[in-house]
Structure 1
Amino acid sequence: MNYKLIIISLLAVVALMGAPMASAKPSFLTSFNQHYETAGTRLDSCTTCHNGEAINPYGRAYLGSGRDFTSIENLDSDGDGFTNLAEIKALNFPGNPDDHPQTTSEIIPETPVNVTEPSVNETPEQPTTEVPVSNATPEQPTTEVPDNATEEQESPGFEAIPVVVGLLAVVCLMRRDIRK
């Protein structure tokens, strides 16, 4: 009976050895990071194309395009009013309608100022030239990163813990079996 338990334990350990492979980054994410230079950013995660286990609207558009990022750049996959490319450039998830670039609409307009040169009694008056002047630099639209930024994935070593525990259990069973 102990041999059956040892065989079952070994099969369980072999099955658990495949668990780390399931958490590995797919080649699609690597291609995405190379194409948009997003490695190490919050977009360097499976959440770019997935909502948990399910594929999000951006992931469906990507698969529907024959896996061509460029062909879906001008689409708004999540329907939030921003193109996929605009969201990616702002480091927002293009498949999440709640995560989109935040822009400020307050732009200080430039005001024209009349500049005239002083005239002398003997010369005719110089023409007036309008030169736009602004005391403040106009604000550019800014992108705010929400507080719910995706954290980096943990080290893949954590998936090996069940395998090590399983192997230790098998060794203990075998040693116990030898003592009898």
Structure 2
Amino acid sequence: MRLIPKPGLLLQKRPGRLLILTALVLTTIGLILVIAPPLVQAERPFLSEAKARYPQIEGSKLDDCRLCHKNKEGGGPRNAFGQDFQIHSYDFAVMENLDTDGDGFTNLEEFMALTIPSNPKNFPKEHLEIEPTPVIAAPITLCYINGRPENVPVEPGGLPVFGPELNQVSLFSFWQKPDSDAPSEVKGDAARGQKLFEADLIGSDNAMGCKVCHLTNASGNTLGPPTSGLGRRSAETIQQPDYTGQAKTVEAYLRESLLKPEVYVTPGFATGLMLTNYGEVLTEQEIADLVAYMLTLK
């Protein structure tokens, strides 16, 4: 005699299987979330560095992310001071001698008078002659694990360290050992750099000069991007998602463009046109001079 299952019997078994499969999927996801490494971020504490160098700004209107950004929370668009700060490789010593907002007072005078260096309508009552006390900032970053700030030391060029619960913390690439196209310690001279830039032939091998392809205030077609607005465009480029280079600052980007032009080509221009041997035919001083000049092209 053949047994015939009761109607609905198979339907009664399927929900149980679905529950088991669902439980397995949820368990797997849970294990992935537990085992997966935490999201680690490291940021250079520029505001802390500013307060270490200029202690008088503590608690003032300059003690705020709006010192460099357009919003209080930071991380958004930079104001004029923040853009200048980036262009000059985040160097407070350089920024002190600049007048970012064009109000006739240097940024150092603005810091000492507690006025806003990015606002031309907010300026000191009189000129000040002040020599700041040199401060060597410790090479420590602010570390965030899964969005939570942690007191974890992260030193440039050092080995990975471990935070709470042995969560490995990776060093941020900005503080890793610089490679060949990283900013040089040789101080560049913008005046010498301009002469080099405008020469027809440069370097030990009489390589083609920069001005042959890059024109100032070019109104027509050029082989390479025009020099006008170079500093501003460079600052914008390294923030773009399609940027394929490694530079984190405008100075590093300009050096990278000079020594490794194939790493990133400005949209709208052909690849393979720029010489790739400038690193061989130019001295380190000449490279630094060219970069110093290009930094002035805002």
Which bracket does the TM-score occupy, shorter chain normalised? 0.3 to 0.5
* TM-score for both structures, normalised by structure 1: 0.42
Per the normalisation by structure 2, the TM-score is: 0.27
Structure number with greater CO (CA < 8 Å, separation at least 6) is 1
From the CA coordinates, give the structure whose radius of gyration is larger: 1
